[in-house]
Structure 1
């Protein structure tokens, strides 16, 4: 008798969980997914991958300023602005790559630099609305 009651309670418990899942949990999760909670604002949607936009132009300017400010490159370095490449990673994150001419004992040499940054505010021209996540300087012949 006790075994039959335990088996009946087990079956009722499993059926109850199934009903709770289908009538309560799943509809709630679907409503959350269909809501605007996970949608990006229309003005924030942008092409991912290699891009060149006014925002990446500002990102490049802020990256150059940060590299000079952090003394990654000397102050008399010449940035080759026409050679910069930018990739949008989504979530207002960008990677920029370009070349800079740096004085050395062998003369002026080209070096590649990479900068990763994120736009944290709404004004792309304001340096305070950008966060530099990292910079790196490498010899130009170090490979692509």
Structure 2
């Protein structure tokens, strides 16, 4: 009966070697990698800083908006005039000190027409005073033109 399944006398030995190799790779490579990833700062944090699925407007998101405006300001020269539209912003507290801010800014380069731009900013509060710019880490920023004014 076994002769039908075993076509080569080394087939069983190779099967055993493959199973052992897969077991070793799983335990020495895959599991440590997964444990390392789940233990990273992306998956951990203070449970009291849990996020919200809906838009949030509170003191923490207001500070995140101010910090995001600072990061947007850092993208431009000192001669550029920026007017932020802070009343029409959208903000989300996505948990563990991370915030997502969407807002608009009017950008006027010297000698050029004003351009309205929309930006989306992802920030992480690293701890400490909310008002301190050094306690925030920019994890993503996208700025796009919306419309030009004459």
In which range does the TM-score fall when normalised by the shorter chain? 0.5 to 0.7
Please tell me whether residue 87 in structure 1 is matched to residue 92 in structure 2: yes
Instruction: Name 2:107's counterpart in structure 1.
Output: 102
1:3-56, CA deviations, whole angstroms, 9 ceiling, x for partnerless residues? xxxxxxxxxxxxxxxxxxxxxxxxxxxxxxxxxxx9965642453331111111
Q: Distance in 2 between matches of 1:108 and 1:45?
A: 39
More helix by share: 1
The Cα of 1:72 is off from its aligned counterpart by: 8.2
Q: Distance in 2 between matches of 1:129 and 1:61?
A: 13
Instruction: Name 1:131's counterpart in structure 2.
Output: 137
Unaligned runs of 5+ in 1: 1-37
Aligned residues: CA RMSD: 2.7
Per the alignment, do residues 140 and 81 of structure 1 end up closer, same or farther by CA in structure 2, a change over 3 Å counting? same
Per the alignment, do residues 97 and 44 of structure 1 end up closer, same or farther by CA in structure 2, a change over 3 Å counting? same
Equivalent residue runs for 1:27-106 within 5 Å: 41=46, 43-71=48-76, 75-103=80-108
Give the TM-score, by structure 2 length: 0.58
| Greater Cα offset, 117-126 or 38-47 | 38-47
Unaligned runs of 5+ in 2: 1-42
Instruction: Name 2:121's counterpart in structure 1.
Output: 115
Give the TM-score, by structure 1 length: 0.60
